[in-house]
């Protein structure tokens, strides 16, 4: 996500020209420097994603050639956790729940009106320098941990460092404590004593019932095998970052995920 230094690039997909125009106007109002790309079809949306960097997708369910969820499926398969926001007034609760647990990042009901969408977008498009958060960081190398903690603390992020999954579980004993104390988990994939990040990931997703939006995971890995990377994402990770770690990319990925989880939590509390 390049909200930190570059203009955000937002893809809007809607069969209605008026709806596209209104959404674009609200995006620009929320973040004037945003670059907007708009289309009325799934085919064109996928073509745009294939040829451009896209930071955020805002889509209707009904497009001229197919269902908007096809955009979600393509994005999840090819762009990992690229956020996809669905705007619709005709989604039943069962479909909404299924989407939120799989391909769709969040859902906006048209009944909320333009003001509701504006508030939503303002939360999503906050600049990175306004994002603060609390991170549970798991890393068994003290040297690596020291450098990473210093980097993240310089970006106004609060770090709780643990050496192992076992130690990390102790500071996240239940769902409520996790919610209160952390906005994100950052962990190396391979840890000492045959532990891996999947131990913590499965604990958060299965035992504590924290989904990707409620507790994002960014996992550092030196494994360049795409099938292995897909497996980690399918297990419930939000994003991966390769090793050696690009510091700017790490900060962007973390702040992007924190932006979404904080916004979601605030929305749920209201």
**pLDDT tens column, 115-150:** 777 777 877 777 777 889 999 999 999 999 999 999
Domain contains 2: no
Domain contains 46: yes
Residue 252 pLDDT grade (very low, low, confident, very high; cuts 50, 70, 90) = confident
| Sheet of 133-138, strands arranged across | 157-162, 133-138, 184-188, 217-221, 239-242
Cβ atoms within 10 Å, residue 95: 16
Residues 90 and 151 in one domain: no
Residues 165 and 79 in one domain: no
What is the C-alpha to C-alpha distance for residues 40 and 220, in angstroms, rounded to an integer? Answer: 37
**Which range, of 122-126, 147-151, 189-193, 256-260, averages the lowest pLDDT?**
122-126
pLDDT of residue 4: 38
What is the C-alpha to C-alpha distance for residues 243 and 42, in angstroms, rounded to an integer? Answer: 34
By the 8 A CB rule, do 157 and 137 touch? Answer: no
Residues 263 and 239 in one domain: yes
pLDDT of residue 46: 96
Domain limits for position 211: 128-269
What is the C-alpha to C-alpha distance for residues 49 and 130, in angstroms, rounded to an integer? Answer: 27
Query: Of 48, 52, 103, 46, which Cα lies nearest the Cα of 80?
Result: 103
Which among 76, 106, 124 is the end of a domain? 124
Q: What domain count does the chain have?
A: 2
pLDDT at position 101 over 50: no
pLDDT at position 208 over 90: yes
Residues 120 and 141 in one domain: no
Instruction: Find the mean pLDDT for residues 215-239.
Output: 86
pLDDT of residue 121: 80
By the 8 A CB rule, do 53 and 9 touch? Answer: yes
Residues 260 and 149 in one domain: yes
pLDDT at position 40 over 50: yes
Which among 106, 124, 142 is the end of a domain? 124
Residues 141 and 249 in one domain: yes
Strands (DSSP E) found in 28-152: 35-39, 56-60, 84-88, 106-109, 133-138
What is the C-alpha to C-alpha distance for residues 127 and 136, in angstroms, rounded to an integer? Answer: 22
**Which range, of 83-87, 96-100, 255-259, averages the lowest pLDDT?**
96-100
Which of the listed ranges 49-58, 78-87, 134-143, 227-236 does the model predict with the highest average pLDDT? 134-143
Residues 84 and 207 in one domain: no
| Sheet of 35-39, strands arranged across | 35-39, 9-13, 56-60, 84-88, 106-109
Distances from the Cα of 113 to the Cαs of 22, 52, 109, 238, in angstroms? Answer: 11, 30, 8, 30
pLDDT of residue 220: 94
pLDDT of residue 2: 42
pLDDT at position 91 over 90: no
Cβ atoms within 10 Å, residue 97: 12
Domain contains 4: no
DSSP reduced 3-state for 88: strand
Instruction: Find the mean pLDDT for residues 151-170.
Output: 96
Residues 163 and 259 in one domain: yes
Residues 172 and 247 in one domain: yes
Average pLDDT along the chain: 85
Residues 133 and 247 in one domain: yes
């Amino acid at each position: 996500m390049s909200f930190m230094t570059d203009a955000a690039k937002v893809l809007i997909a809607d069969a209605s020209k008026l709806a596209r125009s209104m959404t674009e106007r609200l995006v620009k109002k929320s973040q004037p420097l945003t670059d907007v790309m708009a289309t009325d079809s799934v085919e064109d949306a996928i073509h745009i994603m294939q040829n451009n960097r896209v930071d955020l997708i805002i889509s209707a369910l009904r497009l001229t050639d197919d269902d908007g969820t096809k955009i979600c499926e393509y994005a999840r398969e090819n762009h990992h956790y690229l956020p996809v926001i669905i705007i619709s007034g005709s989604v039943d609760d069962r479909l909404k729940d299924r989407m939120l647990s799989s391909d769709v990042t969040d859902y906006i009901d048209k009944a909320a009106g333009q003001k509701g969408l504006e508030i939503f977008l303002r939360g999503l498009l906050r600049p990175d320098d306004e994002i603060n958060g609390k991170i549970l960081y798991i890393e068994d190398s003290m040297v690596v941990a020291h450098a990473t903690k210093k980097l993240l603390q310089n970006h106004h992020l609060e770090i709780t460092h643990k050496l192992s999954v076992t130690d990390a579980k102790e500071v996240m004993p239940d769902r409520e404590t996790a919610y209160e104390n952390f906005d994100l988990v950052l962990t190396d994939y391979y840890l000492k004593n045959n532990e891996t990040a999947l131990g913590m990931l499965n604990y958060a997703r299965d035992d504590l019932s924290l989904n990707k939006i409620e507790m994002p995971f960014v996992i550092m890995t030196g494994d360049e095998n795409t099938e292995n990377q897909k497996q980690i994402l399918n297990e419930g990770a939000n994003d991966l970052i390769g090793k050696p770690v690009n510091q700017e990319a790490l900060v962007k990925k973390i702040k992007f995920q924190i932006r979404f989880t904080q916004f979601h939590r605030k929305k749920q509390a209201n």
